[in-house]
C-alpha cells in the first residue's frame, strides 16, 4: 500500500515543473505515516528489550563512552525507554536523550520516568530531523539498535553530518549490515557502516577506534544479512 502511494505521488508531482522539493517532502511524509501505522500495530510501548538490545546495552565499550560526566547520549529509536532510563540512573553525570517516532512508546518512556524520576533524561516523539532542528545542543554519543535500517544511505549520511557538526565523538550501533546499501525489504536497508563513517567523518577518524561484534539473530538471518554491534570512535578527545 505504501509503495503504491509513493508511486502515485511520484507520477503526480513529476507532471508539475519545479517540484522536486515537494516530491521529497511528500515521500518522507508517506514513509513516516507508513511506519507510524506499523509501529502502532506492533504496540512498541509494551515491547521489552529483545535479544540484540540486551546484548547491545551490556557491551563494555558502550558503558565506557556513556560514563564520562558531561557526556550527552542520544538514543535513536529508544522504544519504551527502559534501557536508556536505566543508563541515566547508572550515570547521573551524563545526559540522555531518547527519540522515537512512536508516540505510544515515548508515552511509556515518560511514564517510566515519572515512576522512577531522574533529571538527566528527556524524551521526544517524532522524526529525528525535527528533533535536531528544535534542539541545537551538542551530542557526543549516538546509540541505535535496529533503527538505522529505516534510513536510506543518503538520509543516514545527512543525519551523521548534522551530528558531526554537533560534536559527535562516538557511535554505538546494533544494526543489520551489508557490503553496500541493499534493501532487505520495502523501506528497510542494510548499510556498510564502515564506508559511510569514513565518508562523513574522514578515513583518518575512522581509524581511531573501531570494533565489530557479529551475532546471530534469526529474524535478520532469514534475510541473509549479518547482525552486528559496531563501535566507532570519531574523535580523539573522547
pLDDT band at 48 (very low <50, low <70, confident <90, very high): very low
Shared domain check, 122 and 67: yes
pLDDT band at 217 (very low <50, low <70, confident <90, very high): low
Shared domain check, 29 and 58: no
The 3-state secondary structure of the chain, one letter per residue: CHHHHHHHHHHHHHCCCCCHHHHHHHHHHHHHHHHHHHHHHHCHHHCCCCHHHHHHHCCHHHHHHHCCCCCEEEEECCCCCHHHHHHHHHCCCCEEEEEECCHHHHHHHHHHHHHCCCCCEEEEECCHHHHHHHCCCCCCEEEEECCHHHCCHHHHHHHHHHHHHCCCCEEEEEEEECCCCEEEECCEEEECHHHHHHHHHCHHHHCCEEEEEEECCHHHHCCCCEEEEEEEECCCCC
Shared domain check, 170 and 85: yes
Shared domain check, 114 and 33: no
Residue at 238 is within a domain: no
Please tell me the total count of domains within the chain. Answer: 2
Shared domain check, 187 and 155: yes
What pLDDT was estimated at residue 56? 72
CATH code where residue 140 lies: 3.40.50.150
Shared domain check, 66 and 31: no
Residue at 157 is within a domain: yes
Q: What is the mean pLDDT of the chain?
A: 76
What pLDDT was estimated at residue 55? 65
Shared domain check, 52 and 28: no
Shared domain check, 111 and 26: no
What pLDDT was estimated at residue 37? 43
Q: Which of 14-23, 73-82, 224-233 has the lowest mean pLDDT?
A: 14-23
Mind listing the pLDDT tens digit for each residue in 177-215?
765 556 666 667 888 888 889 899 886 554 457 888 776
Question: 25: domain range?
Answer: 2-42
Amino acid at each position: 500500500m505504501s509503495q503504491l502511494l509513493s508511486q502515485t505521488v511520484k507520477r503526480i508531482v513529476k507532471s508539475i515543473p519545479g517540484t522536486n522539493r515537494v516530491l521529497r517532502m511528500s515521500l518522507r511524509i508517506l514513509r513516516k505515516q507508513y511506519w507510524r501505522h506499523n509501529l502502532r500495530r506492533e504496540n512498541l510501548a509494551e515491547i521489552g528489550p529483545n535479544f540484540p538490545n540486551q546484548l547491545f546495552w551490556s557491551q563494555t565499550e558502550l558503558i565506557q563512552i556513556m560514563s564520562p560526566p558531561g557526556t550527552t547520549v542520544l538514543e535513536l529509536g529508544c522504544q519504551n525507554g527502559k534501557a536508556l532510563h536505566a543508563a541515566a540512573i547508572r550515570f547521573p553525570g551524563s545526559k540522555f536523550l531518547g527519540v522515537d517516532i512512536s508516540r505510544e512508546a515515548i508515552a511509556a518512556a515518560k511514564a517510566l520516568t515519572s515512576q522512577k524520576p531522574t533529571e538527566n533524561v528527556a524524551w521526544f516523539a517524532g522524526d529525528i530531523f525535527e528533533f535536531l532542528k528544535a534542539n541545537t545542543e551538542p551530542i557526543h554519543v549516538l546509540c541505535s539498535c535496529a533503527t538505522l535500517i529505516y534510513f536510506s544511505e543518503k538520509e543516514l549520511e545527512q543525519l551523521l553530518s548534522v551530528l558531526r557538526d554537533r560534536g559527535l565523538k562516538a557511535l554505538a550501533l546494533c544494526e543489520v549490515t551489508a557490503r553496500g546499501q541493499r534493501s532487505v525489504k520495502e523501506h528497510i536497508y542494510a548499510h556498510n557502516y564502515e564506508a559511510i563513517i569514513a565518508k562523513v567523518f574522514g578515513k583518518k577518524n575512522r581509524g581511531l577506534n573501531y570494533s565489530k561484534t557479529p551475532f546471530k539473530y534469526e529474524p535478520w538471518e532469514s534475510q541473509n544479512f549479518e547482525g552486528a554491534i559496531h563501535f566507532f570512535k570519531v574523535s580523539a578527545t573522547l
